[in-house]
Amino acid sequence: NAGVTQTPKFQVLKTGQSMTLQCAQDMNHNSMYWYRQDPGMGLRLIYYSASEGTTDKGEVPNGYNVSRLNKREFSLRLESAAPSQTSVYFCASSESTGGSGNTIYFGEGSWLTVV
């Protein structure tokens, strides 16, 4: 009954360090997403993958890269972390991006602090 699992849950980075957030889903979903959540800003889409083998930029992609490793896994990489990337990151998945009524399923979040 795992759903969407993301790691790590908490991380502190120094400015300039790199790290990768891992995400996996066990619902056989085609589409996966990375969002960031900041106070007063709601959820903003960083990148998404409509299907295995494809990735597209969302609203705030600068400073991030993604890899859709296989159908289950979608990772987010910060190459050179900046304090502005301090945020809560959510991975999510859905059956596809081909239907307007599709439900998005979220992981529990990763709290990242860049000092």
Partner 1 sequence: GNSVTQMEGPVTLSEEAFLTINCTYTATGYPSLFWYVQYPGEGLQLLLKATKADDKGSNKGFEATYRKETTSFHLEKGSVQVSDSAVYFCALSEKPGGSYIPTFGRGTSLIVHP
Q: Of residues 11, 20, 30, 45, which one binds partner 1 by CB under 8 A? A: 45
Q: Is 1 in the site for partner 1 (CB under 8 A)?
A: no
**What secondary structure letter does DSSP report for 85?**
G
State which residue, 3 or 63, has the beta carbon closest to partner 1. Answer: 3
Q: Of residues 29, 66, 107, 112, which one binds partner 1 by CB under 8 A? A: 107
Give the type of residue at 23.
C
Sign of the dihedral through C-alpha 98, 32, 111, 86: negative
Q: Is 64 in the site for partner 1 (CB under 8 A)?
A: no
Nearest to 81 by CA among 100, 106, 59, 62: 62
From 17-25, 60-68, 75-83, 91-99, give the range in contact with partner 1 by CB under 8 A.
91-99
Q: Is 102 in the site for partner 1 (CB under 8 A)?
A: yes
Distance CA 98, CA 114 (A): 36
Give the type of residue at 36.
R
Q: Is 26 in the site for partner 1 (CB under 8 A)?
A: no
CB of 111 to partner 1, least distance (A): 10
Longest dimension (CA), the chain: 41
